A and B are shown apart, each in its own frame.
Chain A
């Protein structure tokens, strides 16, 4: 029974169904869009996941910036993890090296993934790493301890009001453990 009225109705129905499907796609598109927005605006304190290449060094000899080092572990991670030093003073523009030490205290080999973060968030744009254990997965055999270096440069354009930058790493167990973890089952064990 497709008379004129029905055709008009179905035309609008098709447009609305199309809109609904597009909005579902938009929901998924928000995932990369979220990252793109952070990249473009420089918000969120994210760092690059690859080594930066530095051609020329441009060092500001008139300024010191304090860099602090913090470490943490995800709940699934049976490792010990700490920085070798907790802070150092650096010249903006000058490559500096620091090490973190990780030890696998469990009885099987575990591969870890370190995720970095810089605070304050505005400083992230001015913090580059030319070498970092966070660029690759790190495997430690049972009981193994390893020293892992990071070489970083604080850009000399770091705003004058920021004098302390904190670099934090969190080690996750990777591949991400997909065990069923319900609070209730943990409580009722």
Chain B
């Protein structure tokens, strides 16, 4: 196995190596985490007290919009693509991704896409200020001039995701080592296979919706304008047809990561492997028929509301299967709680809480109260921050020793975990109460009765944001050196990357396919 790497800046700009590209995706995502997180800090600073103290309402709207876009498209999705790039070839015994040059372009589109998006802050007029869901006609008729650049950025990100997904599917279907049947693949690989199909199905629909926006804004069409015979509600239907599968795209890889980590630290095989595969596939398929639960209040007829309510409630079933299987894996296992396991256990508990608030909102008549309040803000931050982001942290701690050859500092890792888990709950749990008490979302100022919980949330937010700098320090320190990691890294670790590759994994691995038992 060769460890010869290209040198200089060309190594990165022209990379066709899945490990280097995975590294670039992960660093890009980390940078975006601080940018989007900084915007969240501005939001929480303004919301610390009632009244307008720091920024004006339009800038607040720009912050909430860009925060959402950056976190969804610039942090969570690229981080998971980074994990896919690093791990999928190693886990299936392949030398690299199927299409290494397309892999390069998939990554390099992102800095351009986000450079364009962030540059809208400096354009005449304002940056996009209509929420990350950019409903028409606010975004079409009343959007600032920078909206067209926003559309361009979304097109670039979409192309990047679609190409990345094509790469993942071809790699998984065609390049598994001999003996690795589909039902022998690590569960993380399964979750990415399914996620990649979801991406190919729905990113083009997003591309369609933003193109319709573009032509409504600039070329005289009226997709979303009643005056011309169009329909603003149709925007919501088409957007959420993309939007709902999108949120599953953001969570399924986390399920895969957690399913790799818990068995290792329980020293016990994952309980119910095949039911985990079928549950993931069921969630993915069901995700196509629930979109209007984001739109219960638009005036849909009763038959529609009922259908979407029942289908949405149904998704809780395969999700529950997965949660039970994680818990059962731990049951009577030989447990140790290193940092990856801490984040994984926190994921299981806190993601489930996020799922409960989601189940509450699936009930249409009560959603009439929760819709567009801080209750939904609490829900999606629980599933995305204590869900997806914690899974990303867990995966980073879990695989960094394999990638770098060095153990990270376990004491610092535990500090990062404990401060994060406490502060994230101080930040988001009060939002349930704010929503139930009637505080709307996306508002820069609020009625006085919401002050206390807002202040609490802001304090939690400042601590949570600040402690991520410790994580940055831990990652850099691990890359530079540390206690040498063994090849297996973790006592209970299984899988080709831990059983058949050294730590650090060589620049080219599995040039010849391994034998799979």
Contact = CB atoms under 8 A, between A and B. Distances in A.
Interface of A: 5, 8-9, 12-13, 16-17, 19-24, 26-28, 30-31, 34, 41, 43-44, 74, 76, 113, 115, 121-122, 170, 172-178, 180-185, 187
Nearest to A30: B238
Interface of B: 58, 98-99, 125-126, 129, 141-145, 162, 165-166, 169-170, 173-175, 200-209, 212, 220, 222-223, 225-228, 231, 234, 237-238, 241-242, 299-301, 303-304
Contact of B170 (A16, A20, A22, A76): A16
A20 B162 contact: yes
Contacts of A22: 204
A9 B98 contact: yes
Given A16-B170, A23-B201, A182 B241 contact: no
Contacts of A178: 220
A20 B201 CA distance: 6
A184 B231 contact: no
B64 to A, nearest CB: 14
B170 A13 contact: yes
Nearest to B225: A176
Given A9-B98, A20-B200, A172 B227 contact: yes
Contacts of A181: 141-142
Contacts of A173: 227
Nearest to A182: B144
Contacts of A24: 204-205, 207-208
B228 A176 contact: yes
Contact of B204 (A8, A27, A43, A174): A27
Given A9-B170, A181-B141, A182-B125, A43 B208 contact: no
Contacts, number: 115
A27 B162 CA distance: 15
B514 to A, nearest CB: 17
A44 B298 CA distance: 11
B144 A17 contact: no
Contacts of A176: 222, 225, 227-228
A8 to B, nearest CB: 5
Main secondary structure of the interface of A (DSSP, over half): helix
A139 B345 CA distance: 68
A21 B58 CA distance: 37
Given A44-B301, A170-B226, A173-B227, 15 more contacts: A12-B169, A16-B166, A23-B200, A27-B238, A31-B238, A43-B300, A43-B301, A121-B301, A172-B226, A176-B228, A182-B142, A182-B144, A183-B142, A184-B144, A185-B125
Given A23-B200, A24-B205, A27-B208, A182 B228 contact: no
Given A17-B166, A20-B162, A24-B208, A34 B234 contact: yes
B204 A23 contact: yes
Given A27-B238, A172-B227, A182-B125, A9 B174 contact: yes
A145 B381 CA distance: 55
A176 B220 CA distance: 8
A34 B237 contact: yes
Given A24-B205, A30-B237, A172-B226, A8 B174 contact: yes
Contacts of B242: 27
Contacts of B206: 27
A121 B301 CA distance: 7
A130 B175 CA distance: 66
Nearest to B172: A12
A62 to B, nearest CB: 28
A11 to B, nearest CB: 9
19 contacts: A12-B173, A12-B174, A13-B99, A20-B204, A21-B204, A23-B205, A27-B209, A30-B238, A31-B223, A31-B238, A34-B234, A43-B300, A44-B301, A74-B227, A122-B301, A177-B227, A182-B143, A184-B129, A187-B58
A13 B175 CA distance: 13
Contacts of B303: 41, 43
Nearest to A175: B228
| Residue picked from A26, A27, A34, A122, most chain B C-beta under 10 Å | A27
A17 B166 CA distance: 8
A184 B58 contact: yes
A184 B223 contact: no
B58 A27 contact: no
Contacts of B225: 176
Contact of B227 (A16, A31, A113): A113
Contacts of A183: 58, 129, 142
Nearest to A12: B170
A181 B227 CA distance: 15
A181 B299 CA distance: 27
Contact of A30 (B143, B145, B174, B241): B241
A8 B170 CA distance: 9
Contact of A26 (B205, B222, B301): B205
A9 B99 contact: yes
A43 B300 CA distance: 8
A30 to B, nearest CB: 5
Nearest to B300: A43
B59 to A, nearest CB: 10
